[in-house]
Every structure is written in structure tokens, then in C-alpha cells.
Amino acid sequence: MNAIWIISKKELRTFFDSLTAYVLLIIFLGFSGFFTWLYGSDVFFIGQATLQPFFGIAYWTLFFFIPALTMKMIAEENKSGTMELLLTKPVTDWQVVVSKFLACLMLIGIALLLTLPFYFSVWALGPVDHGAVWSGYFGMLLMSMVYISIGLFASSISNNQIVSFLLALFIGVFFLIIFDLLASNMTGFLGGLLSYLSLSTHYESISRGVIDTKDLIYFISVSFTGLFLAEVYLSKRNIVE
Amino acid sequence: MSIQVKNLTKKYGSQRAVDDLSFEVKTGEILGFLGPNGAGKTTTMKIITCFMAPSAGDVLVEGLSILENPNEIKRKIGYLPENNPLYLEMGIFEYLQFVAELQGIPKDKIQKRIVEMVRLTGLNAEKHKKIGELSKGYRQRVGLAQAMIHDPEILVLDEPTSGLDPNQIVEIRELIRKLGTRKTVILSTHILPEVEATCDRILIINKGKIVADGTPENLRRQAQGQEILRIQISEAPDEKTVLDALQSLDNIANAGPVSHYENTFMVSTKPDTSSRKDIFRLCVERNWVLTEMSLIETKLEDVFRDLTTN
């Protein structure tokens, strides 16, 4: 547990040292701010004191930004050899994967914290459904967990960061859109399965303020699977035949 | 801390990088690990440091198996991997702190330990820089500092001096000797004088198997017995006549010209004989002038080449 905390602290600091974190925060806040307040179906267009436009935008911005964060986390360390250095310290593969996951989640957490002024502004404008806002934020974190674990898995597969990035987007698109599309054309067990796998259904219900254990189990198990596969790929060096 | 390597095998596809390798390193010994590129040195080191699992066999570090107690073994080992990978965007202090925390050094001792390592490795003048801003020699010092920050009983150093200039090589070598007293050290290298200067024992491996094991002196003695001379003869009619004449001498096993040098020849004698007098007499007899005759000492290089080619 201690090792996980030490590594994730270091990873988080690396985000800030390498300016990645600042670039991400600025672009994320800029994008979501622009579409929440100024353009498209923004708050004033809807005419309701709600953060729905923000959640709708963040849903997509995070989809692109998280793979950009995770793409190098394992790939670069494998390539430069620092992974070898790290894993010859008293640390297990699983601890490395989890700590990278946590570092990334903390950064997303910081990004979301910085959007709290949106919440307060909307609150000042009119009556807000506070429950829906908080569960929206909660859903955003859960969704980030899924993206991060997919991103780490993609990063563990290839030593090339661009490949990792594209692969993470590719897998992400399945969870975001394709499973949903396929599910609508299918019935029976397969249709049910695909619609269960689709991230949007689970996310929608949470962002509306309905927190169901079924959805929680979904987010946690998909994240866990991603991390588990990342660990499998990381420890593949042990069984090269 | 003794290390026992037992029937270690590692396969990459059908290729055996390490093939049934067994050896033992005693406490306090400095072992030089030699071999051509691709002989399996790095793979063996990666297995000893618990980075990779072997396909078969086991390594016992002070009785603990790498297969069962990797985390305890990792704590006892300081490792400098090949090419010295480091987090270039981190500062030296920050990085050493990170490693110290990971190695489980108590919080109140970390600062003291870092200062000590920075002083020992001579990083004091550069300590506020980021690792990426350092020259190769200084990076190597950071690599050594991180390997030794937890005062491990075993040091595994994979080509610690590769890519350094001659001055840096001497400095790093001295550093290793200074820091490695009372530690068990396994060191791999291509530079043979380095092994002679630092190691108690040499292990040469080729194609994953041990081909020689012993002290540097022992190994050199094994290859001796054959006298090799470099001679230069002037006022001879042509090289071919000289070569024929040399080869007709009883004790000479082999003679050949040295490329780029006129009238210069390498002569090796049959085991346990000497041909110096015969060559001198031959020259006198034919009225040639012997302008150079030097005894080439058998070097570790030759031993190495003998054992690892063919």
C-alpha cells in the first residue's frame, strides 16, 4: 500500500513537472467552459440552472484527454528501461499499475475540482438540483476510471505512445458508441450483454442522479479488468517463450 | 550475502539465452561477469534481480529463492541496469528520495542517506540539476547512488562503465571499489583491464554457458605456455623468403606478416618452447638485420577471444 502511494505521488508530480498537467487543465477548463457558457446548447440556451451541458462536454473531452495522459505511463517506462529499475525495487507489477491509475485519477480529480466554480455560478443563477450535480461529478470520476484503465492497458501493449493513444481511443469508442449501436440492432442475450457493456447507458443514469449498485459494479469491474490486463501485459516478460 | 545460481535456463523462443547455468558467489566477493554481446550476461542479471522469471532453475540469495521471496531479495540488492535508465525529468534529490522511500528507508534517515550518497558519488556540485541536464558520467553516478542508497549487501552492476570516457571510467571504477568493500558484487563488462583491476574472480560465459571460471591470474596462466613474438627484420630479400625460413624452424608453430607494417612478423611457438635464440641465429646466418623482437604477453583479451569464438 505504501509503495503504491509513493509511486503515485511521484507520477502526479511528474505530470506537473513535465507541464502535461497544466496543458491538460487549461485545455479541459477552456473547452468545457466555452461549451458550458458561451456556445452551442450552453446553460443560457437551455435556460435552466443545470450542469448538464458541462457533463455532456466533459464526457467527450475526457475521452480524448485521458488516453493522452495514459499513453506514455507504461509505454515510455518500458521503452526507456526505467520500468526495469522500478520493478527491481521491492514493488510488484500490480502495485505499479495501480499507482499509475491512482495518479491519473488524482489529476482528473483536480481538473474536476477546478470546475466547481461552474457549479457555484449556476447555483447563483437559479435553483440547482444539487443531488444531480454531485452524482454527475461522481459519474464523471467513475467514467474516468474506465478510461484510465483502458488507457493503461493500451499503454502496456505497445512501446509506441502513438499506438497506445490510438488503441485507447479505439477501445474507448466501443464502450462509448459501438456497443450501444450494436445493442439497438440486436435482441436476446447478445443485445442485453452489449447494452450492459455500453458505457453511455450507465453514465446517463448516474448523471441524472440515479446511483444504482448495478452501475457501480459495472464501472468498477470494467476498470479492474483493464488494470488486470495491463498487469498481465506488464508481467509478460516473465514468460517470453 | 552469498548468491547461488542453480541450473538457470531462460529461453527466448527456441533460443536459449541462458543454458543450465550454475555458479556461486561468496559473501564479499567481486565477480566479473564476462562474455560477448548476447552471451546471456544481462539476462542472468535480470533474473538475479527478480526482474524476470527464469524458464527453469532457481537463484538463492542467502538461502531465499527468487521465485518465492522476490520482495525480500529486492531489498538486499542494489541494481544498476544496462544503459542506466533514469527519470530524466526528475531532479537528483527528488529521484534519490523517491528510491529511498521505495526501498523502505525510515523517513527520518532518508535525508541523511541522500546527502551521504551525493557526497560519496561526487554529485555535490550538480545536486540541484535535473537528471536530464547531467552528462553521461554524472548520470552514471546517479545510477550508482540510487543502487546503493539503501546500503544493500549485494550490488549487481550491468556494464557500469560503458559509454564513458577514459577519465570517467577510472573514476567510476574507483567509486565501485570504494563503495563495494564488504559487499558482494557482480559486475559485467566488456573492458577486460577493468576486470583485472577490480575483480577477485572472473566468470566468462558464452552462449549461455560457463566457459571459464577463476581468478584473473589463473585464467591468464591457462592460456600461456605459448610464446608470441613480434619481430622485424630488415635487409631481407622479400617477406616470403623470411616467412618460409621462419616456418622451417623447429619450434615455430605459426608465423605471419603483420598488416600495415613492412617486414614485421608475428611468430608463435609450439607450447612450452622458445624460439628467440633460433630466430636470432637464423638472421645471423642469412645476414639479415633483426631490428625488433618483442615478447607479446598473453592478455586476458586473448583468453577471452579464445574461449568465446569458434
Domain that holds residue B76: 3-214
Compute the distance between CA of residue A137 and CA of residue A130 in angstroms, rounded to an integer.
Answer: 11
Q: Report the CATH number that the domain containing residue B108 is assigned in CATH.
A: 3.40.50.300
Chain B: give the shortest CA distance to residue A63, in Å.
27
In a domain, A181, yes or no: yes
Mean pLDDT score across all residues of chain A:
88
In a domain, A173, yes or no: yes
The reply to whether residue A241 touches residue B13, judged by beta carbons under 8 angstroms, is yes
- Assess whether pLDDT exceeds 70 at residue A1: no
Chain A: give the shortest CA distance to residue B105, in Å.
12
Using CB atoms within 10 A of its CB, is residue B272 exposed (0-12), middle (13-18) or buried (19+)?
exposed
Q: B103 to chain A: which residues are within 8 Å by CB?
A: 89-90
Q: Clarify whether residues B63 and B175 are in a common domain.
A: yes
pLDDT on residue B127: 83
In a domain, A241, yes or no: no
The reply to whether residue B94 touches residue A13, judged by beta carbons under 8 angstroms, is yes
pLDDT on residue B297: 66
Domains contained in chain A, number:
1
- Assess whether pLDDT exceeds 90 at residue A66: yes
In a domain, B143, yes or no: yes
Q: Clarify whether residues B133 and B44 are in a common domain.
A: yes
Mean pLDDT score across all residues of chain B:
85
Domain end position, chosen among B194, B214, B234: B214
A150-154, A191-195, B297-301, range with greatest mean pLDDT: A150-154
The reply to whether residue B71 touches residue A237, judged by beta carbons under 8 angstroms, is no
Q: B92 to chain A: which residues are within 8 Å by CB?
A: none
Q: Phi and psi for B234 in degrees, rounded to 5?
A: -115, 170
Q: Clarify whether residues B84 and B150 are in a common domain.
A: yes
Query: Closest-CA residue in chain A for B11?
Result: A241
The reply to whether residue A84 touches residue B85, judged by beta carbons under 8 angstroms, is yes
Cβ atoms of A100 and A12 within 8 Å: the answer is no
Model confidence pLDDT, tens digit, residues A137-183: 899 999 999 999 999 999 999 889 999 999 999 999 988 888 888 88
Domain end position, chosen among B162, B192, B214: B214
Model confidence pLDDT, tens digit, residues B187-229: 888 777 778 778 888 898 888 888 888 887 777 766 665 677 8
Give ∠ CA B49-B175-A79 in degrees, rounded to 5.
Answer: 40
Q: Would you give the DSSP letter of residue A91?
A: -
- Assess whether pLDDT exceeds 70 at residue A11: yes
The reply to whether residue B75 touches residue A18, judged by beta carbons under 8 angstroms, is no
Q: Clarify whether residues B146 and B292 are in a common domain.
A: no
Per-residue confidence at A238, pLDDT binned at 50, 70, 90?
confident
Domain that holds residue A52: 2-235
Q: Clarify whether residues B188 and B287 are in a common domain.
A: no
Identify the residue with better confidence: B298 or A119.
A119
Q: Clarify whether residues B88 and B148 are in a common domain.
A: yes
Cβ atoms of A226 and A157 within 8 Å: the answer is no
In a domain, B309, yes or no: no
DSSP output for chain B? --EEEEEEEEEETTEEEEEEEEEEE-TT-EEEEE--TTSSHHHHHHHHTTSS--SEEEEEETTEETTT-HHHHHHHEEEE-TT----TTSBHHHHHHHHHHHTT--HHHHHHHHHHHHHHTT-GGGTTSBGGGS-HHHHHHHHHHHHHTT--SEEEEESTTTT--HHHHHHHHHHHHHHTTTSEEEEE-S-HHHHHHH-SEEEEEETTEEEEEE-HHHHHHHH-SS-EEEEEEES-S-HHHHHHHHHTSTTEEEEEEPTTSTTEEEEEEPTT---HHHHHHHHHHHT-EEEEEEEEPPPHHHHHHHHH--
Q: Clarify whether residues B73 and B36 are in a common domain.
A: yes
In a domain, A240, yes or no: no
Q: Clarify whether residues B143 and B236 are in a common domain.
A: no
In a domain, B161, yes or no: yes
Chain A: give the shortest CA distance to residue B149, in Å.
12
Name the residue facing A238 among B53, B90, B101 (closest C-beta): B53
Name the residue facing A90 among B12, B87, B104 (closest C-beta): B104
pLDDT average, residue stretch A202-228: 88
Per-residue confidence at A219, pLDDT binned at 50, 70, 90?
very high
Domain end position, chosen among B214, B235, B265: B214
Using CB atoms within 10 A of its CB, is residue A9 exposed (0-12), middle (13-18) or buried (19+)?
middle
